[in-house]
Chain A
Amino acid sequence: MADAYEVPELLDDIKTPALKPGSMGHLAPYPAVEKHMKPLGFPDARVPDWEKRGVEKLGEMLKKYRSLQVYMDICVKCGACTDKCHYFLGTGDPNNMPVQRAELMRRVYRRYFTPAGRLFPGLVKASDLDEEMLKQWFTYFHQCSQCRRCSVFCPYGIDTAEISMAAREIMDAIGVGHKYTTEIVAKVHELGNNLGIPKPALSGTLQFLEEDMLETTGHEIKLPLDQEGAEVLLVAPSADFFSEPHIQSLMGYAKVFHQAGISYTISSYASEAANFGMFIGSFEQKKKIAKRVAEQARALKVKRVVVGECGHAWRVAYSFWNTLNGPFDFLDPRYPVPQHICEFTHDLIQRGALSFDKEANDAYVVTMHDSCNVARASRMGPNPGGQFTIPRDLIRATCNHFVDMDEDTICEKTLCCGGGGGLLTDELMDLRIKGAMPRMTALKRVVDGHKVNFLALICAICKAQFNKMLPLYGMPMDMVGGVHQLVSNAIRLGAKKGVV
């Protein structure tokens, strides 16, 4: 029930709140259950000697992750990050300040791994890993969307995402998992995608969409499934097949492939770009999930792999795939592996293969929400910052009216939608609403000041989150959509076919 939640009032600008200690201490996610933990190789219930095992696991992680080891040590508690987290800005809970969230782990680290913490626990604030601490970990490491905004501003680049991922992995290792994320990872292993869509349902949907596009455009635009020998394997987030407004972008991709005359296929086995292995911090799970794509690229004998509009998926694909399952030397070396759908479309525009009726989007004044994992953990094109310019180029190529939000809330300083990092689950709705407040504030300013009525973005989680948030904050739900939804609206079909 939407009206059961308390929705913050939007002010003219994002204000740093006063501290409200413990205000979000009650909001932990649902714990994972046996049937989701087991397939992931985690203990199905809390192990008996969990304190000892937890500390051992932390010791192991310190050796495996330089980020964790260095970030445990070098924070000087300068406070630069304290007003940067959207969850802190929305809740005022001091444990949602990045330094304080990390402090929950640092206390345990100091207690067991530093001389100062062993000798003077009171002086340096060191704590045992006990029931109370575990409760805090489970609560507050599931109030971090791993958006990395803090790492932009930290003078040492301390990345709380690394710390919350490590905390989640340690908790999984002692049998204290998070239901939503483990359930989804289990589903990918079973059915190939996060939504648990079986092949017949997927092929039915694609067929329906083909008919729909034929009716509305008069062109036979295909959404091929499991087609061996296609040029491109398209890996989209599974939400693109079933959710609004995601599905509009899927049709956008299809029109681009159609108009460029490049054959492509979707895979039912690797029908998911998302990789929740990242959210739970597990290298093994990340690798296992991403392996489906690498295997399908080989099996379907494609030459290129293109990834759809999904933020964390793009991080995993761009930054991690090569490490996880590379090398991809069996693919065409003339194209980057993987390629983002925005890079793909952008490249085609540069080569003159596509043209647009910008007037088709004249009803819209568009702004762009940079999704955190695209903005701060990946790149597009050859130059740093291409992840900002390329999607904006696509918007400008397809729309006449574009305006950016406040510069402190876009590009590398972008604000999380409030639902990333494995938190897009209903029991955390209160957190999601409050965490969306900063973004909603920046959006409201351009809605009021520039009559913005379309929020363009390239992330499946952001789309789903904003769908819920916009009406709560008094803005229309359908103003959120993908960049390829705008492409879909404006692309000229049939006028000119194929790459020259």
Chain B
Amino acid sequence: MLTYLAYTVVGVFIAGFLWKIFIYARSAAPLLIPTTPAPVTRGGVLLRLFREVAFFESLFKADKLLWIAGYAFHATLVLVLVRHIRYFYDPLPAFFAHYQIVGLLAGLAMVGALGLLWARRLLIDRVCHISSKADHLLLLLLLGIGGSGLLMDFFLRPDIVAIKKAMAALWGFPGVNLSVASPGDIVFIAHLLMVAVLIIIFPFSKLMHLGGIFFSPTRNQVDNPREKRHVNPWYPK
């Protein structure tokens, strides 16, 4: 069961993600439209994209509270994901024993940041107005994933040894089944299923901002229209 689920989920994700990237790459950029002031060299553009992705530069200009919440969520998500490597790695390098505390604190902060992001959607009239059911549900899904994770860390521990064994077996193809012996195991199954849903909808939802930002012409174009002629591929002459 678990094996089929895992491979289907990852398969859909990779195919969907690549399909979207293909669509973005295939579409044309008829004119140069960087939001200026913009870098005048390719290196400058790479630096601009790096600042956007690493520091959320534009968002910082826009709204400090949102920047704090959004940045905290994304940064702690990365820290939490790094902690999850321990469930796929055997024998575990010493690093992960020391890292444990970082990962756990990051998990707490991540759920806090998600709470803040959801509070914005509920409390600020403008943000409430622009939110669809899907926007709320996505935050709830992330909160569910983070919350169930913390629950397992602090209260209802599942059978980690069995889980790790099952995860290790995923690299091969045998049918792996998880035991459901304790409440912690049930929480784990829920955690896993929610992650599966998140990964499946990724390429078909706004989560594609991960790939899309690199294709945003206002951010990825060099400001050099006078120096170098840009050709419109569908109207070259």
Contacts and interface: CB of A to CB of B under 8 A. Distances in A.
Interface in B25-41: 26-33, 35-40
A112 to B, nearest CB: 15
B98 interface: no
A11 interface: no
Interface string B134-172: 110100000000000000000000000000000000000
Interface residues of A, number: 76
B225 interface: yes
Contacts of A68: 27
A445 interface: no
A125 B134 CA distance: 8
Contacts of A16: 126
A488 B205 CA distance: 56
Given A322-B226, A323-B30, A124 B209 contact: no
A412 interface: yes
B62 interface: yes
B115 to A, nearest CB: 16
Contacts of B70: 78, 155
B134 A124 contact: yes
Contacts of A67: 29, 33, 216-218
Contacts of B126: 16, 19, 79, 82-83, 94, 97
A385 interface: yes
A77 B130 contact: yes
Given A283-B30, A376-B36, A387-B36, A157 B218 contact: yes
B59 A155 contact: yes
Nearest to B69: A78
A162 interface: yes
Nearest to B134: A124
A384 B36 contact: yes
Q: Which of A70, A337, A375 has the most CB of B within 10 A?
A: A70
A359 B151 CA distance: 74
A153 B217 CA distance: 15
Interface in A119-157: 122-125, 148, 151-157
A78 B59 contact: yes
A431 interface: no
A182 to B, nearest CB: 21
Nearest to A338: B226
A204 to B, nearest CB: 35
Contacts of B217: 66-67, 70, 157
Given A70-B216, A156-B212, A103 B130 contact: yes
Contact of A100 (B24, B129, B201, B208): B129
Contacts of B208: 73-74
A64 B130 contact: no
A379 B108 CA distance: 46
Contacts of A320: 31-32, 225
A78 B117 CA distance: 9
Contact of B132 (A114, A123, A155, A321): A123
A384 B37 contact: yes
B229 A64 contact: no
Contacts of B58: 80, 152-155, 157
A166 to B, nearest CB: 12
Given A73-B206, A75-B206, A384-B36, A82 B134 contact: no
Given A152-B61, A155-B52, A323-B225, A125 B132 contact: yes
B94 interface: no
A89 to B, nearest CB: 11
Given A69-B23, A97-B126, A123 B216 contact: no
Contacts of B20: 73
Contacts of B225: 318-323
B120 to A, nearest CB: 7
A440 B63 CA distance: 23
A41 B132 CA distance: 39
Interface string A379-416: 10011110110000000000000000000000011000
Contacts of B52: 155-157
Given A125-B132, A156-B213, A322 B29 contact: no
Nearest to B117: A78
B27 A322 contact: no
A64 B36 contact: no
Contacts of A73: 20, 206, 208, 212
B35 A82 contact: no
20 contacts: A66-B24, A68-B27, A69-B24, A74-B213, A76-B206, A77-B135, A79-B130, A97-B126, A114-B204, A124-B132, A124-B134, A151-B218, A153-B63, A155-B209, A157-B217, A287-B235, A318-B225, A320-B225, A327-B229, A385-B37
Given A70-B217, A115-B204, 9 more contacts: A77-B131, A80-B62, A123-B133, A157-B218, A323-B31, A323-B230, A327-B229, A379-B36, A384-B223
Interface of A: 16, 18-19, 21, 62-71, 73-84, 94, 97, 99-100, 103, 114-116, 122-125, 148, 151-159, 162, 283-284, 287, 318-323, 326-327, 336-338, 375-379, 382-385, 387-388, 412-413
Nearest 5 CB-CB pairings of A with B: A74-B212, A153-B62, A384-B37, A157-B218, A80-B62
